[in-house]
Copies of this chain bind each other. A is one copy, B any other.
């Protein structure tokens, strides 16, 4: 499958707002994790059937975390029960979505990707996470079980944590922050590997190093394509004039998130530039090594090919060949040969070839 695309062509020609899953099927049974919380109370439960999921109640702080997007019937039930706009729902189910923050009349929609390095395949893999903030309710969608949210869940269970005091905008921040923290972790890991490559490139530039450069460059390029729109997202978020983000209590945290994602992007770009520089150095180094090889070849050839010719001359069978019959011919021959070889060596030495 094409790397920079989920098979978007699956919904080619359909009307907008069609609930078509675009992506790779990953889950058999979609689930809904439900949390209702305020500073004193806390309820946590999980549902397999949509009809059992509590309706969203404008008076209560609620978090619905839906896992598994590929069951179109299930998703249609969710949309109906939680009353989500079709265009937002379409974006939730299209896992090839570009990260964005969009405001509608009565809800805010955000989508971005969780990233993970699959070291077997030497590939970064993505999982799309979408956020719907609607009144006091937060709804999140992810493709499959497993996420970066566990630390947040833990803080949520603690009645003294900030997260229990503030609204769904803060909870959404905490979850996005955990995703972006994971970007940091990912790039830190790749960066260490990239830094280790440098010595290898300078001293022993072999094909394996070339493949490594190429692989990291490709993956950083992919990460940047996924992560750059996240900065647009946070930029739009902190400039929003709507009520979805509490300007007094939550905005400062989103600014902190904006700093962090800027840091992520600059670091990924820095490593990409480093790799581009490596490739140039590698290439130049390969050329320089070829010069060394050529010098060895040329020195041997330039010395021995003429000498062989002279030996060949004295191996000819001309009847009349006076030198052959002088007594010291053979020794003179060696004298000339050694002088010539020495002269050549001196010449190459002076040229700085060895």
- Interface residue ranges, A against B (CB under 8 Å): 1-5, 7-9, 11-17, 87, 96, 98, 100, 102, 104, 148, 150-152, 155, 161-163, 174, 177-178, 181-182, 184-185, 187-189, 191-192, 194-195, 198, 202, 204-207, 210-211, 214, 217-218, 221, 225, 252-253, 255-256, 259, 262-263, 266-267, 270-271, 273-274, 277, 279-291, 293-298, 300-302, 304-309, 311-322, 324-330, 333, 337, 352-353
A98 with B259: CB separation less than 8 A: yes
A318 with B329: CB separation less than 8 A: yes
Question: Measured between alpha carbons, how far is A221 from B8 in the docked complex, in Å?
Answer: 22
The 9 A-B pairs of least Cβ separation, nearest first, read: A13-B151, A311-B312, A2-B191, A314-B316, A297-B298, A318-B330, A315-B315, A300-B302, A9-B185
A5 with B306: CB separation less than 8 A: no
Question: Measured between alpha carbons, how far is A13 from B150 in the docked complex, in Å?
Answer: 8
B293 with A298: CB separation less than 8 A: yes
Whole-angstrom distance between the Cβ of A53 and the nearest chain B Cβ: 27
Question: Measured between alpha carbons, how far is A218 from B202 in the docked complex, in Å?
Answer: 13
| Closest B residue, CB atoms, query A319 | B325
A225 with B266: CB separation less than 8 A: yes
| Closest B residue, CB atoms, query A181 | B12
Question: Measured between alpha carbons, how far is A352 from B206 in the docked complex, in Å?
Answer: 11
A270 with B317: CB separation less than 8 A: no
Question: Measured between alpha carbons, how far is A185 from B22 in the docked complex, in Å?
Answer: 13
A182 with B12: CB separation less than 8 A: yes
Question: Measured between alpha carbons, how far is A253 from B16 in the docked complex, in Å?
Answer: 8
